[in-house]
Structure 1
Amino acid sequence: MEPLRGDGTTVGETTVVARGCRLDDAPVRAVLETDARPRFFWAAGTESIAARGSAATVTAGGQSRFGDVQAAVEALFEDCSVPDRLPSVARPRAFGGFAFHNGSHEGGDSPWDGFPGAAFFLPEIQVTVRDDDAWLTATATGPEAAAEAEALLDEWRDRLADHSEREPGPPPGISHRERTPTRDGWREQVSAAISGVDRGDLQKVVLAQSLKVALEADLSVPDVMARLSRTYPDCYRFMLSPESGGTFFGATPERLVSVRGRTVRTEALAGSTGRGDTPAEDEWLAAELLESEKDRHEHKLVADAIRDQLEPFASTVRIGDRTIRRLATVQHLRTSITAELDDDEHVLSLVEALHPTPAVGGLPPDAALRTIRETEAFDRGWYAAPIGWVDAAGNGTFAVGLRSAVATEREATLFAGAGIVADSDPDREWDEVQLKYRPILDELE
């Protein structure tokens, strides 16, 4: 894929123009608290990004949505003029994600109005902070794009200079909860899935639950993101408000894929237990997880499947050691996976190849997805699906939308799931799901 056009491009020949400047400070809250939609927030490692407003939007649906988005994004970046002096950290990116399933869910009411099968946008305003380096990027389209981008840049440089970060407010509180399924319904669903494994129809299937909560006060998702960033600094924190509808947000521990050049990084994250009340109990639980036959089996299914999905693209695939991934409320088995590609590949090609991993879907994939559709009485929407960013070179990073919720001002729907294999216990799996609600639930209660 060709990089963005540089200073030598004639503006009259291009419809998208970006301009940028360095910032002394980068109060990302100022970008997220505006009324303009869409809005996006992303934080991982030492990088955080806030984006708002759409210079261009790409949407797609159905089985071909990954390829359709890739083609549209590539065409968009090929028609974009960016100053050569703008460093890679500040160059425009397209932000967005995908629904878990190819088509819409036929169940009851859905909180996912406004979220199509796939949606990406090139933002008007993008603030990027990496380490201590902060940049503002403005993007505009049309015949006057260069002048409009310069005007946006001047407006937001002044606007950000006058803005100071504030402490996040308290959680809104919860007045009512509604679970789908009930505990008895969950036992029936898990037992049916285990029967499918015993018959040989499935090796594993990930069943999810939803928890709808009514809020006592208006929800500020930027406040939630600020608090999540303190509690889960090692997770991928994300927030997306599409052009209409609610806001999808979360703090997920799981990276789907990261592509830089010909190097691909991903991971297997499957098998869970709680955290201990003391360091000794914490270590005991971790050791028990590492030795658990059920969890090791579930984890191996995921790691082997990811390796098999990458091998058609890669000259080498390296599997790391199985380790413990500790979060505030839960511990997971984790294995890092790195691949070197045979040829250049767009990150969205790898996203399509890997989604859904057995960590959120199951094996065999078609049978697992069919079981999920037939079993779950709610719309997964974008839960457990790819969300992230892509740049003009086809590089990018996508996380799996776990530990997440979709919300409006006074209502939120949380999602969490558990992997079901032959020796799963319905009550233990129920308890695991409740632990996975905690990252978001703690920020709402």
Structure 2
Amino acid sequence: MDRSSGESRLAGGTGSADRVVELVSRSRELEDVSFDGVLDGVGEPRVRWATPAGVEIVGRGVAARFTAGGPERFDRIRTQADRVFDEVSHDGPDQARPRAFGGFSFHDGHEPEAPWTGFDAASFVVPRVLVVRTDDGTWVTTVANRPDEADARLERWHERLVALPTSERTGTTPGVATTERTTSRDAWARQVETALERIAGGRLTKVVLAQSLSVDLETPVDVPAMLERLRSQYPNCYRFLVGYGVGGTFFGAPPERLVSKRGDRVETEALAGSVPRGETSAEDEAHVERMRGDAKLQHEHELVVDAIREQLAPLARELVVSEQTIRRLATIQHLQTPIEATLEADRHVLEIVEALHPTPAVGGVPPDAAWETIRDTETFDRGWYAAPVGWFDADGDGEFAVALRSGIATDGTVTLFAGNGIVADSDPTEEWDEVQLKFRPILDELRSPSHR
């Protein structure tokens, strides 16, 4: 089957976009639950999604799958999903409703080759089993083609989950044997100089260049357990896991929300410009003051704010850009500007995602020249790095993060990704140092404590 054709693939590979598939979902409330019981298992797709606000979702198996490639991939995914979601009968609270989880590659011409085996240019699954935890409670939801099948699956999973311990495992760090960069210092300097030449020539205003880091581990990594450790280190970040049962597991703890949509309300943010954390509060504030007064960092940030404003304006009847704030993480601090919009007409969240991707925080300005520069200079496949990852539902609502601070785990190797914005007065050495800082959130959780 040509995956770029826009056809849907359903559980067992039995469906296509031309056949209407009816799905039934059933939900039951739980006292509390460990998500480990849903994520355990080999060979089945599994997803995890957690927000800074405290919503946590895990899913397993495939009730429906949507894949696409090429420039029309956003439309194709939406068309496939509409055919399925229009026929879903859900018996349960809104919080526990079926959703499609997945994401997109950075480039629309992406091919799912190692380490990205199994990750199409656009791919989403509606899990057969879903556990959702919000401030209002915890629910298990099952999805099937028939009511009796959904009911039986719900009974089995409810019994299984209530019998499990409620605590999440954090496991042990796998340890790092060796690391290998795809980009040397000299190659990085040449890439930055190429970008600076294009900026000086007027073709480009900003471009985000990235690196990958291949990490060979001493023991296999338990990705769900590592995400639990990241929860305590980065509680105000998203956390996600996407694995399709073949190939690797893509995961991350990104600080940046791409978009959240509910009804006609849209929330997004500009997150660009960064400095390290200090050893003391006084050092923290000194770094922040330097960042606030740094013309390069402010220019880089304003490019992102202006681009998001321009991308959302045609879709919105009201657009509010709030005052600039500081986003503090464990090892780094960012300039942040919250942005909200009220939509002019009914829109699917994937339309907003397509309009915003890639933001100048991960691509550049102007977008076409930035993409060309990225393709000309980077020496690795970004895959899903720096691209939208998240979920959407039958109403076209949903939430997506930018897949930064991320990596893909395959066998005994984890490939990490990080990048930085290059503008007119960027210095290759300073940009190198900042990229290495951005590897640390995941790299520290892979290293044994004595080597951090």
2: CA distance between counterparts of 1:75 and 1:274?
Answer: 47
2: CA distance between counterparts of 1:67 and 1:427?
Answer: 41
Is 1:242 aligned to residue 244 of structure 2? yes
* Shift of residue 244, structure 1, vs aligned partner: 1.2
Determine if contact 1:36/1:53 at 8 Å carries over to the other structure. no
Output the amino acid matched with 1:420: I
Equivalent of residue 75 in structure 1, options 83, 102, 109: 83
SS of the aligned residue for 1:252 comes to coil
Determine if contact 1:36/1:52 at 8 Å carries over to the other structure. no
> Could you tell me which residue of structure 1 aligns to residue 149 of structure 2?
148
> Could you tell me which residue of structure 2 aligns to residue 261 of structure 1?
263
2: CA distance between counterparts of 1:76 and 1:291?
Answer: 51
Q: Deviations over 1:128-174 (max 9, x none)?
A: 00025000000012xxx211111110111011011113431111001
> Could you tell me which residue of structure 2 aligns to residue 9 of structure 1?
none
> Could you tell me which residue of structure 1 aligns to residue 4 of structure 2?
none
1: CA distance between counterparts of 2:78 and 2:364?
Answer: 26
Q: Deviations over 1:234-287 (max 9, x none)?
A: 111000002311000000010111111101100000001100011100010011
SS of the aligned residue for 1:234 comes to coil
> Could you tell me which residue of structure 2 aligns to residue 100 of structure 1?
106
Determine if contact 1:239/1:247 at 8 Å carries over to the other structure. yes
SS of the aligned residue for 2:267 comes to strand
The aligned runs of 1:352-367 (5 Å cut-off) are 352-367=354-369
2: CA distance between counterparts of 1:103 and 1:416?
Answer: 21
> Could you tell me which residue of structure 2 aligns to residue 136 of structure 1?
140
Is 1:58 aligned to residue 49 of structure 2? no
* Shift of residue 79, structure 1, vs aligned partner: 1.1
The aligned runs of 1:302-321 (5 Å cut-off) are 302-321=304-323
Determine if contact 1:126/1:136 at 8 Å carries over to the other structure. yes
Give the 4+ runs in structure 1 shifted more than 3 A: none
Determine if contact 1:14/1:81 at 8 Å carries over to the other structure. no
1: CA distance between counterparts of 2:32 and 2:390?
Answer: 24
* Shift of residue 295, structure 1, vs aligned partner: 0.3
Determine if contact 1:96/1:119 at 8 Å carries over to the other structure. yes
The aligned runs of 1:360-379 (5 Å cut-off) are 360-379=362-381
Determine if contact 1:207/1:418 at 8 Å carries over to the other structure. yes
2: CA distance between counterparts of 1:424 and 1:188?
Answer: 13
Q: Deviations over 1:40-67 (max 9, x none)?
A: 0000112000000001100000111000
Residues 166, 243 of structure 1: alpha-carbon distance in 2 compared, 3 angstrom cutoff:
closer
Q: Which runs of 5+ in 1 are unaligned?
A: 1-12
2: CA distance between counterparts of 1:25 and 1:52?
Answer: 18
Determine if contact 2:49/2:58 at 8 Å carries over to the other structure. yes
* Shift of residue 110, structure 1, vs aligned partner: 3.6
Is 1:403 aligned to residue 409 of structure 2? no
* Shift of residue 341, structure 1, vs aligned partner: 0.6
* Shift of residue 35, structure 1, vs aligned partner: 2.3
* Shift of residue 26, structure 1, vs aligned partner: 2.0
2: CA distance between counterparts of 1:161 and 1:388?
Answer: 27
Quote the RMSD (CA, aligned, Å). 1.3
* Shift of residue 34, structure 1, vs aligned partner: 2.2
> Could you tell me which residue of structure 1 aligns to residue 183 of structure 2?
181
Is 1:204 aligned to residue 212 of structure 2? no
Residues 254, 382 of structure 1: alpha-carbon distance in 2 compared, 3 angstrom cutoff:
same
> Could you tell me which residue of structure 2 aligns to residue 338 of structure 1?
340
Determine if contact 2:111/2:121 at 8 Å carries over to the other structure. no
Determine if contact 2:170/2:226 at 8 Å carries over to the other structure. yes
Equivalent of residue 284 in structure 1, options 270, 286, 292: 286
Q: Deviations over 1:353-381 (max 9, x none)?
A: 10000000001100100110111110000
Is 1:422 aligned to residue 424 of structure 2? yes
Q: Which runs of 5+ in 2 are unaligned?
A: 1-19, 448-452
Q: Deviations over 1:61-89 (max 9, x none)?
A: 01110000011111110011112xx1110
The aligned runs of 1:215-230 (5 Å cut-off) are 215-230=217-232
For this pair of structures, how many residues does the alignment match? 426
Output the amino acid matched with 2:121: G
SS of the aligned residue for 1:417 comes to strand
Determine if contact 1:105/1:378 at 8 Å carries over to the other structure. no
The aligned runs of 1:40-51 (5 Å cut-off) are 40-44=47-51, 45-51=53-59
2: CA distance between counterparts of 1:171 and 1:329?
Answer: 19
1: CA distance between counterparts of 2:44 and 2:124?
Answer: 12
> Could you tell me which residue of structure 1 aligns to residue 124 of structure 2?
120
2: CA distance between counterparts of 1:356 and 1:125?
Answer: 31
SS of the aligned residue for 2:396 comes to coil
The aligned runs of 1:30-49 (5 Å cut-off) are 30-44=37-51, 45-49=53-57
> Could you tell me which residue of structure 1 aligns to residue 32 of structure 2?
25
Equivalent of residue 193 in structure 2, options 183, 191, 194: 191
Q: Deviations over 1:3-25 (max 9, x none)?
A: xxxxxxxxxx9621101100011
Determine if contact 1:176/1:213 at 8 Å carries over to the other structure. yes
- Normalising by the residue count of structure 1, what TM-score does the alignment of the two structures yield? 0.94
Q: Deviations over 1:332-368 (max 9, x none)?
A: 0000000011111100000011000000000110010
Determine if contact 2:321/2:340 at 8 Å carries over to the other structure. yes
SS of the aligned residue for 2:306 comes to helix
Determine if contact 2:101/2:390 at 8 Å carries over to the other structure. yes
2: CA distance between counterparts of 1:127 and 1:213?
Answer: 32
Determine if contact 2:47/2:59 at 8 Å carries over to the other structure. yes
Determine if contact 2:33/2:164 at 8 Å carries over to the other structure. no
2: CA distance between counterparts of 1:379 and 1:167?
Answer: 32
Output the amino acid matched with 1:331: Q
Determine if contact 1:110/1:379 at 8 Å carries over to the other structure. no
Determine if contact 1:220/1:409 at 8 Å carries over to the other structure. no
